[in-house]
Every structure is written in C-alpha cells, then in structure tokens.
Structure 1
Amino acid sequence: MSPTVVKSAPELVPPAGPTPGGTLPLSSIDKTAAVRVSVDFIQVFPLAAEDQDAAVAAMRDGFARALVPYYPVAGRIKDVSPGEPVVDCTGEGVWFVEAAASCALADVNNLERPLLIPKEELIPRPPPEENLEDLIIMAQVTKFTCGGFAVGICFSHLVFDGQGAAQFLKAAGEMARGLPAPSVAPVWDREAIPDPPKPPRGPPPSFTAFSFVTQVVDISPESIARIKGEFSAATGETCSTFDAVTAVVFKCRALAAGLPDDADVRLGFAASTRHLLHGVLPSVEGYYGNCVYPVGIPRSSKTIREAPLTEVIGLMREAKVALTARFTDWMHGGAKEDHYNVPLDYGTVTVSDWSRVGFNEVDYGFGEPGYVFTLNDHVNIVASVIYLKPPAPKRGIRLMLRCVEEPHAAAFADELAKFV
C-alpha cells in the first residue's frame, strides 16, 4: 500500500506580540534579481522526537515569537503601482500546516530521489482565497511514524535570498528552543541599497520549455581534493570547492550537450555581495534581503570542450575576482548592460549553492536536519545545478542536476563519472 499523508487545514500563526504597521520598500536588488516566485524545499529530520505533538507546538510558537522582531515577514507583498512591490506590514502572520504520514521515513527511503511521496503532499500551500505570490513564507511539518519529521518551506524570493530565509528559520528555531531573542538581530534597511539608473534593457529573453532530466550525483571529498590538487599542481594556486566542482559540471555538460562548435555556452551563478555592502548597509550582519549579483562565463562550446579542466577552473576564479568591480560599477550607475538579463537557451546553465546558506543548521527543537533538498523539478526554462549537502553521514557535495534532456543524459552521466 502506498504511503499517505493527511494534512490539516492551513492555520495562520500571527506574531506573538504587537508589531508595527505601514509599508516597507524592497531594495533595487530584490526587485531586479528576484522574480516574484516562491521557492520550495524540504528539511528532513530523522531523529525521533519523544513527543511529536509537543515538538510541533514548540515549533509553531517559535515562528510566532520570531515574527515579532521579523515583523515584515508576517505581512503581505502588494503592488503600490504596476511592477512596484512593497511589503505591507499587516501583521496577519504566516500559514502553518500540520500533517501526518502513514509510514516511517525509512519506508520512503528518507525522502531520497525518486520521491516515494508526491512533493505536493510535503509542501505548504495557503487556502484558496490567498494569493501565493503575496505571501512571504509558509511552513508544513509532517510527522512520520518513526518519530521523525519533514519540514516543507515555501518562501518568497522577492523578500529573501537563501541566506536571508535561513536566517529567519534559524531565529524561529532558536525561539522554539526557548531563547529570549534571536542570536542575530534582523536588519531590514532595504532603502540603503543603491538604486542606480538602469542600463537599457535588451529584448526580454525568449522562453523555451525544455524537458530536463533530474540526475543526482554525489562527489566525494576525495574526488574534490584530487581536482583541487591537480589545479594547484598545475598553477601553484588554490581554488575553492565551488570553483572545482562547477568547472567539472560546465565542461562535462559542454562535452555531452551536442551543441555545435560555435554555439555559445554560458555558466551563470548568483554570487553573494554581502561582503561588498559594508559601509552601505548600517549593519550587514542580520540583513535578510537579496544580496546577490550575477556572474556569467560565456564561451564557445568548442572552447570549453577542449580546454583543460584547470583552465576552466581559472575562468571561474577570474569571474569571481571581477565581481567586485562589476558590482561596485553597478552600484554607482556605471553598468553599461543589464547583467540580470541572461539568454535562456540550451547553452545556458545556472548554478546555485545551497550547501552553505544555512538551511542545514536550522534546529526547531528536534535537532538539525539530516538532509535538505530543493523541489525545482518543474523548472524547465533554463538548465540548473543545485549544490546540496548529502544526507548525513555522507560527506562531500551532492549535485541536483537538471542540465540536459534525455538524449544527452547518459553521455553527461558518463562524463561526470570520470571525475566522481
């Protein structure tokens, strides 16, 4: 018999105390970098709680208490004019769903891919009268018969980047565990981010619906160390895990994707710019808005196929070094082109590093998650790579890949296997 999940009706969790009203602006980065989409992910907590109901009640209370210092999160997104969203501090609260599964986590392979429970059963959704795009964050806690939990989170990318959303969830966890205040005080200050004149926009990118195949690949610490060691031996320099692994994916995809020699292939990722906002924001620590700027590496398909891996790693490092100048130029209105406007064809692959943003360090009172994973299977307009921490006790990097269509999937897996 297939496992079932019974959900309770969504309930609003309002702030535990009075909160300010009014509207708050979003930053120019919020409005430029983040389209008005929701991001869904799951945190898996395999450790059994002695009293699941008490643990869930404490978690709900943690959200209510965290919404007092994070009072904008209890509000709603609204447009004051077309394309000009703000946060309306209504104090309504966040939607919270309780659910119970008919099985143990082990019965569904601890929610490893392929999912044995439909993802719709694990993520929160509001009642039909609420517009999902207006909400800032929601949570669903699903109890399993083994005493473990899955926590599904849905957050608005317009209000948070990954690090910002993790910061709020860590605060909710701290309050659930009885701390009197979050260990990091929240900072809004969106208006402190410069709003430079926008460079002329090119035509909007055309959208093609691809049929990307989901592939999961684990790269061991030993493989990562070997790749980094080869780069160091060849150049006398060091490189990060992100540089090494992303260069492998970029090269393997170029080898497998079947694109002509002169076709453009592009690697894109959103680099954190928090370190570049000291002196711009009153306090960088605690800021939970979008703090990213796009980094792009365009080359011909033939160039990436034929380049030694050490050379592709070098391209990664050069692009990251150039970030400071590009972002500073953007802040002062000197950008000559719209770096956020990325061509969305088969040659483009985007990379997101979820392994270090903080979702794995959230503790609602039943320990840190053994595994965190995203639910991006519906995204078919651009190839994507997401870095995750593999389920404990494994180490290294897990890649959630939606990079190629079926005709190229086997070749892509074969190329990756040479490195992992």
Structure 2
Amino acid sequence: MSFAVTRTSRSFIAPCEATPRNSLGLSVIDRVPALRHMVRSLHVFTHGREPARVIREALSKALVKYYPFAGRFVDDPDGSGEVRVVCNGEGAWFVEAKTDCSLEDVKYLESPLMIPEDELLPKSSLDVPLMMQVTEFGGGGFVVGLIFAHTIADGLGAAQLINAVADIARGLPKPTVEPVWSREFITNPPKLPLGGPPVFPSFKLLYATIDLSAEHINHVKSRHLELTGQGCSTFDVAISRLWLSRTRAIDLDPGVDVHVCFAANTRHLLRQVLPPQGGYYGNCIYPMTASASSGRVASADLIDVISIIRDAKARLPDEFAKWAAGDFKDDPYEFTLTYNLLLVTDWTRLGFLDVDYGWGKPLHVIPFAWLDMMAIGIIGAPPAPQKGTRVTTHCVEKEHMQAFLEEMKGFA
C-alpha cells in the first residue's frame, strides 16, 4: 500500500521578537570538515492536538533565545575560507503536512518504513541551519521531521533546542535551559600546516536495524563484571558487538587494522572555561578511536572487545588535554574515511527521547545520519514500551550484509 503525504504549508519561521543582528564565529570543532553535513531524524508521537500550529508558534518563541538557528552560513569576508553564522533573523524552514492514514496503519513507522523518510522530512538547503516538518496523521498522531546542520550544534545541542521548543509548547514562559553560544571558549590549538583537501570516498552501504534485548545486555554486563571485576555500560556492549560483528563480516586480511571511532562528549572536561550553568550547544565532542588488527578483533571474545573499547574511553581526558595544548602529530578530527573505519554515535543520552510538546514523550526516534562516505552505527532505543537497545546501521555493502546480520544475531 502507498500512503500519500500532502505538504500544506511552507514558510520561514522567524523569531517572534527582535534579536541581535551580528556575525558569529564558529569554534575549531564546529569547522571540522567531517561535520559539514545535515543530520536528519523522525520523531514519532502518538497524540497531539493541532501539533503543527503549536510547534510552529513555540519555535518562533524559542528562536528568540536560539537566534543563530534563524541565521545563515556565509564565508568569512576576510578570505580565510572559514564559515560564519550571520544572525539576520531570516528564520528556520518549517513545513506543515497531513496524511489520512493513522500511525497504526503504517506500523508506527517501524522498519522498514511504509512511508519514505523523504516524505516526512522537509526539503533541505545547506545554508539553513534548522528545518522542521510536522506531519499530522489521522487519529491524532504526528511526526516531527528534523534536519539540523551539524556545523552549528552537536546532538546534545540540537536536542537542547528541541526541548526548548517543547518547553514553550507546554506553556512555559521561556526555555528551561538558557542557551550559551560562547564558541570562543573552545580551545583553539595551534594549526598544523595545511595538507591537501579532504578526500571523501563513496561506498554503497546498506541500512539495517537490529534490536538487542535487555536480557542479553544485562547478561554481557554480568559476565564482564565476573571476568574482569569491572562494570561496563550498555554503550560498551552495543558498540563492541557491532564492531566485532562488522569486522567478522567484512573479512579483511588478518594483518589489516580496523578502527572504531565514537564521538565523546567533552563538556565535563571544559568546566573551567564553559559557563557553569550549562547550556552550551555547539559541537563539544572529541573523536576517540580504538584500533586493532582485523585478526585480533575477529577472533576475540565479546568481553575482550569490550576491554578494547573501555581502554579507549579511559584515554579521553589525556588525549583531549594533549590536543588542546597542541601536543599532537596528526589532527584527531581529520581522520581518513575508509571501509575499515566504523563510526558510532549514541543517541540514547542526547535528550530527544525526553521531548514533550504537551502530549507525552515520543514513541521512538528514528535517526538518518547516513552519508555514503562513512560507515556508521547509531545506538538508540526501540519504540516504547519495549526495553533494550536498538542498533541502526549503515555500515556494510551488499556483499557483506548477510554475514553481518548473522553475526549480530548470533550472540548468545
């Protein structure tokens, strides 16, 4: 069956009050080439009364505080090649849409989607930092299609903004968290000599979703504690299982190194420079990489792979401090994108699952952070009230997909 989505309104939503008209510089992390892309996601809610109107009005109010999201990206006029945000109040792009079907008719957008994601997401433009589409379904449910520019905010920052919109939609006079720009507080270490332009490959990666039961996660945690005397997190278990399964599936030469890289939040390491009240929404992440030979990872027990991941996490404070001091040979933010590199991000702690526009939190959040130039896995949650962990991947090509799925499902 096909279900038609009709877009009924398209407009720029400007801040409802006057906001500063200025030009804002981005931090050295914001300007990382690998972050120059749009992050897309769908947020599924089962109830709502005139949600498009309510969210549109709340967005206009929230943009008074978060006015850079209503601006535009421009090249710095000094010829440096750096990008800045011109705060001109032009607004965020907002689309209203309707469909006659109910969320139940489309299985609450469980995978595989019965409505293509492009029908539920606004058409994107790279110079607009924020875009939203609210699609109202028959029976009262609605879906928020969100697109934001990674250059202006990391996942925590984007979720902070959307929660601010939700605060106002619920009737609060202002957002619970006061936003902070403060990009100048982010360390700007000495620059390395310019190399050649970054090379972005193009893979033919396929999409897959795998659920890990809470029972399995807890079993692995207990086994890890028993064998090592140390606890481990759900993230540790999920990322290790994903890396191990993918390494076995792509079956590289045993002597070839494989890498898994995850974006670690560094706000806690910058407490001395960031405002103490919080609210910083720029990119505040550091890429932590774990590496080992393909043969070592493929032959390892899951507990051993968890130890490799935990060792990498433990290095974060020292590595970040060295980077901030300029004590590095190679810029850690400028890694080479190859098929033996897996990027992983954790969406469970960003705050998107806490968004409440007045009718309850989302049933589930569906990420689409897919780019053909990088193999990626996203750690998330299955639709409520299910328990456990959902691993959404875009990380193997067709020839490796069957082996990958069998490995992911083959753990006891």
TM more than 0.5: yes
8 Å Cα contact 1:384/1:402 also seen in 2? yes
Runs of 5+ consecutive residues of structure 2 not aligned to the other structure: none
Alignment of 1:51-62 (within 5 A): 52-53=49-50, 55-62=51-58
Structure 2 CA distance, aligned partners of 1:362 and 1:34?
27
The answer as to 2:67 corresponding to 1:71 is yes
Partner of 1:28: helix, strand, or coil?
Answer: coil
Describe the shift of the 1:277–1:190 C-alpha distance in structure 2 as closer, same or farther (beyond 3 A): same
8 Å Cα contact 2:9/2:97 also seen in 1? no
Moved more, 309-318 or 285-294: 309-318
Shift of 1:144: 0.4
Moved more, 144-153 or 402-411: 402-411
Moved more, 37-46 or 399-408: 399-408
Deviations 1:35-69 (A, max 9, x none): 3211111000013x3xx33x322211110111111
The answer as to 2:405 corresponding to 1:417 is no
Alignment of 1:18-417 (within 5 A): 18-32=18-32, 35-47=35-47, 49=48, 52-53=49-50, 55-80=51-76, 81-125=79-123, 132-200=125-193, 206-283=199-276, 285-377=278-370, 379-417=371-409
Deviations 1:107-134 (A, max 9, x none): 11111121111211100126xxxxx121
Describe the shift of the 1:208–1:27 C-alpha distance in structure 2 as closer, same or farther (beyond 3 A): closer
Shift of 1:200: 4.3
Describe the shift of the 1:266–1:200 C-alpha distance in structure 2 as closer, same or farther (beyond 3 A): farther
Runs of 5+ consecutive residues of structure 1 not aligned to the other structure: 127-131
Shift of 1:161: 0.2
Output the aligned Cα RMSD. 1.6
8 Å Cα contact 2:238/2:391 also seen in 1? no
Shift of 1:325: 0.7
Shift of 1:202: 5.6
Deviations 1:326-366 (A, max 9, x none): 11111111122111222222211110111110111111223
Describe the shift of the 1:33–1:280 C-alpha distance in structure 2 as closer, same or farther (beyond 3 A): farther
Structure 2 CA distance, aligned partners of 1:15 and 1:246?
40
Q: 1:8 aligns to what?
A: 8
Residue 223 of structure 1 aligns to which amino acid in structure 2? H
Q: 1:129 aligns to what?
A: none
Residue 306 of structure 1 aligns to which amino acid in structure 2? S
Residue 240 of structure 2 aligns to which amino acid in structure 1? A
Partner of 2:334: helix, strand, or coil?
Answer: coil
Deviations 1:381-400 (A, max 9, x none): 22111111110111111011
Residue 252 of structure 1 aligns to which amino acid in structure 2? S
Describe the shift of the 1:370–1:272 C-alpha distance in structure 2 as closer, same or farther (beyond 3 A): same
Structure 2 CA distance, aligned partners of 1:205 and 1:303?
30
8 Å Cα contact 1:187/1:283 also seen in 2? no
Describe the shift of the 1:283–1:71 C-alpha distance in structure 2 as closer, same or farther (beyond 3 A): farther
Describe the shift of the 1:202–1:236 C-alpha distance in structure 2 as closer, same or farther (beyond 3 A): farther
Moved more, 347-356 or 278-287: 278-287
Residue 314 of structure 1 aligns to which amino acid in structure 2? S
Structure 2 CA distance, aligned partners of 1:284 and 1:291?
16
Residue 394 of structure 1 aligns to which amino acid in structure 2? Q
TM-score (norm 2): 0.96
